[in-house]
Amino acid sequence: MKRLTLTRFMIEEQRRSGLLRPELRLLIETVARACKSISHAVGKGALGEVLGNLATENVQGEVQKKLDVIANELLLEANEWGGHLAAMASEEMETIHRIPSRYPKGEYLLLFDPIDGSSNIDVDLSVGTIFSVLTAPADASGREITEQDFMQPGSRQVAAGYAIYGPQTLLVLTLGTGVYEFTLDREVGSWQMTDGPMRLSEGTCEFAINMARHQQWSPAIRRYIDERLAGEDGPCGKDYNMRWTASMVADVHRILKRGGIFLYPADHRTSGKARLRLMYEANPMALLIEQAGGAANNGLERILDVEPQGLHERVGVILGDKKEVEAVAAYGLELREIAHS
């Protein structure tokens, strides 16, 4: 079967819409190439001496895994010299990474979580790379890029996606006109389209949440989950399944493929302290989910409308099947009360 490669897909998209700029195409190709190298490193595991922790912590105070740092370096190196970027930001770096003066600069800003779900690395479960692309403000050309230039809501993303390093290595991408999946042909080294435009199945009775954190949930989240756990005899009148892989990429990918809802709500007890990062986790995933016909909010508002206040800001995340996300929001009066108290 002849499949469309990532390169050809983007060239055809460029011809079709005239909106996809060659520099953005180069950026996506470069990120995809770096993801191939990351996939290779992940796949080597203990043989490549890439497993385990380093003695360092990242800006969030989390112990860095060797692969966090390796993947971060691979993405920085691959994207530094092509002339398509103004600057980069990563979960693993406290502040932004400007393009060194010896290289030409472009207009795009790239944000990434080099290895998402890193607690899974050492136990051989799926991890991934998440990325988001913004355009630098028009007045930024000719001056030094600042962190403030990144402070744009997710609705301004011009592209977003993730690579997932699981039984297969996949790249899932949106350029703002649908969501497409590419599988890495490891022998040939090319990304080949295997799904798309992807549409989220409605009515899947599956939710993903870390049940161990139930003491942090607001009354609205408790009610939503309790009603689903009540199954056929409860108000939903049907049985639900629960899945949790502790890797957002894997959980969101499952939802894109077969439906359901993912919840990592903000902590009710600590007035909204949350786990997931807005700019390089929640925003790209929210764009992908919306592009596939789903919804994404933080319990109060659409994630893509949140005005960021900081590079590493955290946000509650509820995403997936539109009806289910709306059901949580409908129970969300309590959440709103907490936010305004």
User: 293: burial class by Cβ within 10 Å (0-12, 13-18, 19+)?
Assistant: middle
91 marked ligand binding residue: yes
* 65 contacts 41 by C-beta, under 8 angstroms: no
Instruction: For residue 297, report the phi and psi dihedrals to the nearest 5 degrees.
Output: -140, 175
State the nearest-atom distance from the C-beta of 190 to ligand FDP, in Å: 28
Closest chain position to ligand FDP (CB)? 248
In the complex with ligand FDP, the residue whose CB is nearer, 105 or 275, is 275
113 marked ligand binding residue: yes
State the nearest-atom distance from the C-beta of 285 to ligand FDP, in Å: 10
State the nearest-atom distance from the C-beta of 274 to ligand FDP, in Å: 10
State the nearest-atom distance from the C-beta of 314 to ligand FDP, in Å: 10
Q: Where on the chain is the footprint of ligand FDP (CB under 6 A)? A: 116-119, 210, 246-248, 264, 275-276, 281
In the complex with ligand FDP, the residue whose CB is nearer, 145 or 252, is 252
What are the residue ranges of helices labelled H in the chain? 6-17, 22-44, 66-80, 219-229, 248-258, 283-291, 322-330, 333-340
CA distances from 15 to 9, 18, 106, 296 (A): 10, 5, 21, 31
Q: How many CB atoms lie within 10 A of CB 233?
A: 8
In the complex with ligand FDP, the residue whose CB is nearer, 7 or 216, is 216
* 298 contacts 304 by C-beta, under 8 angstroms: no
52 marked ligand binding residue: no
In the complex with ligand FDP, the residue whose CB is nearer, 151 or 246, is 246
**Would you list which residues are annotated within the binding site?**
91, 113, 115-119, 210, 281
**Would you list which residues are annotated within the binding site for substrate?**
116-119, 210
